[in-house]
Structure 1
Amino acid sequence: MFGFDENMIFRIPALLIALTIHEYAHARVAVWMGDNTPKIMGRLTLNPIAHLDPFGLIMLWLFKFGWAKPVPINPSNFKNWRQGTILVSLAGPISNVITAFLAAIIYGILAKLELLSSGIGTVLTFTYSYNIIFAIFNLIPLPPLDGSKVLTNLLPARQGYMLEKIEPYAPFILLGLVYLNIINVIIAPFYSALSFMINQIVRIIL
């Protein structure tokens, strides 16, 4: 999936696109919902440097597990803090799905016009793939992933608090899941289903 190989020059822009879009979407929706914290902290930007965690990016390339800098938010600034937190959390994965769809559309249009070079095609393919993976991975309900924030705010207070208590151990749990290849087992069926739906829509449009 990730790692150093001859395609790394194509993987890097695809990874940066997926990471940047994901974090920018969190920031944008938080501001829309009334919290200017991301803007104040310089995260309301499409500049990837603002969102990168260098160590997290290296881990992503080397070990198929990494992260960007989380977008800081203050839920107390939302009119409805629970609803606001859920929407901000979902914004990242949803933006990744939309980006994957756009990558597929652009690929299809360029192919039809016979303007698709090998390099552009490879970048678009990785962009498509990484964005789907990011969307699914971030919806896993383990802290601090987006799925856990959604689930925490949907659960009764006691159960939500218990889920939050897992957060200090979550990186080790995730590393274990990656090492045992369980992450791929979890992601694979959702990847296939989501990819199938996107491709069907693209075929209808084009």
Structure 2
Amino acid sequence: MTDPNLPYTIAVWLIPLVIAIVFHEVAHGYVARVFGDPTADQLGRLTLNPIRHVDPIGTVVLPMILAIAHAPIFGWAKPVPVDAMRLRNPRRDMMLVALAGPATNFVLATFAALSLGAFVGLHGGIPAQGAPHTVAGFVFDSLYSFVLVNVFLGVFNLIPLPPFDGGHVVQGLLPRAAAIQYSKLARFGFPLLLFLLFVLPMISPQADIVRRVIGPIASAAADFFLGFAQLGGL
């Protein structure tokens, strides 16, 4: 039987996810430009227009499947191009470019949590959740989802493996010879992502790093940010 609340569920998760992903990617490109690489700007990727960033699978299809399955919602956009050799200090600056994405998500989570707290205060309490027939319920659910999406996206991207942002940080911290070898893992980025997300959990539920490792970390971080709205543990 079709879930009558499915369109509502998708709306309150997909819209925040697209916004979070777009800001994440633009942050990479903007910081790269600050440190000398205008590639993203030259290719028109320093825009908040989601059409320039949307990846059909990572931004739309996968999040919708996860929403239907009531699994943690996350995704990705088309990566903003960065030419490390155009950066003034490639090893250091590439780490800062990588960290700009998760950092932006955590900033957005902070503002969303503060907005959520203000909304609850003005509304006189928490409106009925999952109530598509009320504007207040939609606003609350969307802000709440926006906090969770940004926290999860920030934490997820800090996984210390290519192609994640955390992988670029590790690469910048390793000795040069080791960093060169480590960077070769990037060619297996998408297969590695599929393996971590789908294959490994099927082989062994105990090895599901999203639910058993990333999930608890993201949950604790979400409670921290929701604490700004006095909604931690909701």
- TM-score by length of structure 1 reads 0.88
Give the CA deviation at 1:201. Answer: 4.3
Q: Does 1:198 align with 2:225?
A: yes
Q: Distance in 1 between matches of 2:16 and 2:74?
A: 16
Q: Which residue of 1 aligns with 2:110?
A: 101
Q: Which residue of 2 aligns with 1:92?
A: 101
Q: Which residue of 1 aligns with 2:34?
A: 32
Q: Which amino acid aligns with 1:121?
A: F
Instruction: Give the conservation status (yes or no) of the 8 Å contact 2:147–2:225.
Output: no
Q: Which residue of 2 aligns with 1:188?
A: 215
Q: Does 1:17 align with 2:19?
A: yes
Identity %: 35
Give the CA deviation at 1:81. Answer: 1.3
Q: Which region of structure 1 is more displaced relative to structure 2, 57-66 or 28-37?
A: 57-66
SS in 2 for 1:34: coil
Q: Distance in 2 between matches of 1:18 and 1:80?
A: 28
Give the CA deviation at 1:202. Answer: 4.7
Instruction: Give the conservation status (yes or no) of the 8 Å contact 1:65–1:175.
Output: no
Q: Does 1:8 align with 2:10?
A: yes
* Count of aligned pairs: 200
CA RMSD after TM alignment? 2.0
Q: Which of 60, 63, 85 is the equivalent residue of 1:60?
A: 63
Structure 1: unaligned runs, 5 residues or longer: none
Q: Which amino acid aligns with 2:108?
A: T
SS in 1 for 2:160: coil
Q: Deviation digits for residues 95-146 of structure 1, max 9, x if unmatched?
A: 0011111111101001111187100111111111111111011111221111
SS in 1 for 2:161: coil
- Structure 1 residues 65, 192: closer, same or farther in 2, change over 3 A? closer
Q: Does 1:165 align with 2:192?
A: no
Give the CA deviation at 1:150. Answer: 0.9
Structure 2: unaligned runs, 5 residues or longer: 67-72, 128-135, 202-207
1:32-181 aligned at under 5 Å gives the runs: 32-57=34-59, 58-62=61-65, 66-114=75-123, 117-179=136-198, 180=201, 181=208
Q: Distance in 2 between matches of 1:142 and 1:17?
A: 24
- TM-score by length of structure 2 reads 0.78
Q: Distance in 2 between matches of 1:74 and 1:175?
A: 26
Q: Which region of structure 1 is more displaced relative to structure 2, 112-121 or 137-146?
A: 112-121
